[in-house]
Amino acid sequence: MRTIDLRGRSLTPAELLAVVPRAAEALQAAASVAVEIVADVRARGEASLREQAERFDRVSGHEIRVPAEHIAEAVAGLEPEVRSALEQAIDRVRAASAAQVPEGRETRIGQGARIIQRWQPVARAGVYIPGGKAVYPSSVVMNVVPAQVAGVESIALASPPQADQGGRVHPTILAVAGLLGVDEVYAMGGAGAIGALAAGVPSLGLDPVDVVSGPGNNFVAAAKRAVAGFVGTDAEAGATEILVVADDAADPRLIAYDLVSQAEHDEQASAVLVTTSAALADAVATELARIAPLTRHAERVATALAGEQSAIVLVDDEATAEAFSNAYAPEHLELHLEDASRAAARYTSAGAVFVGGFAPVSLGDYLAGSNHVLPTGGQARYAAGLGAHTFLRPQQVIEYDRDGLAEVADAIVALANAEALPAHGEAITARFAGTAE
**Single-letter amino acid, residue 292:** A
Element (H, E) at 85: helix 80-98
> Helix 80-98 vs helix 171-179: angle between axes, to the nearest 10 degrees?
50
Active-site residue identified among 332, 336, 372, 389: 332
Q: Listing from the earlier edge strand, what are the strands of the sheet with 105-110? A: 105-110, 113-121, 392-400
Per the CB < 8 A criterion, the answer to whether 163 and 134 are in contact is: no
Distances (CA, A) of 7 to 4, 199, 272, 372, 375: 9, 50, 16, 33, 29
Residue burial 231-249, b: 16+ Cβ < 10 Å; e: rest: bbbbbbbbbbbbbbbbbee
Closest CA to 176 of 129, 137, 132: 137
Contacts of residue 41, Cβ cutoff 8 Å, sequence gap at least 6: 48, 49, 52, 192, 195, 196, 199, 201
Give the CB-side neighbour count of residue 53, counting CA atoms within 13 A: 26
**Does the annotation list 308 as a binding residue?**
no
Residue burial 58-71, b: 16+ Cβ < 10 Å; e: rest: ebeebebbbeeebb
Please report, to the nearest 10 degrees, the dihedral formed by the alpha carbons of residues 144, 145, 149, 151 taken in order. Answer: 20
Per the CB < 8 A criterion, the answer to whether 269 and 237 are in contact is: no
Per the annotation, the verdict on 331 as an active-site residue is yes
**Does the annotation list 424 as a binding residue?**
yes
Active-site residue identified among 267, 318, 331, 334: 331
**Does the annotation list 262 as a binding residue?**
yes
**Does the annotation list 240 as a binding residue?**
yes
**Does the annotation list 57 as a binding residue?**
no
**Does the annotation list 106 as a binding residue?**
no
Catalytic residues: 331-332
Residues of each annotated binding site:
240, 262, 265, 332, 365, 419, 424
Residues of each annotated binding site for substrate:
240, 262, 265, 332, 365, 419, 424
Residues of each annotated binding site for Zn(2+):
262, 265, 365, 424
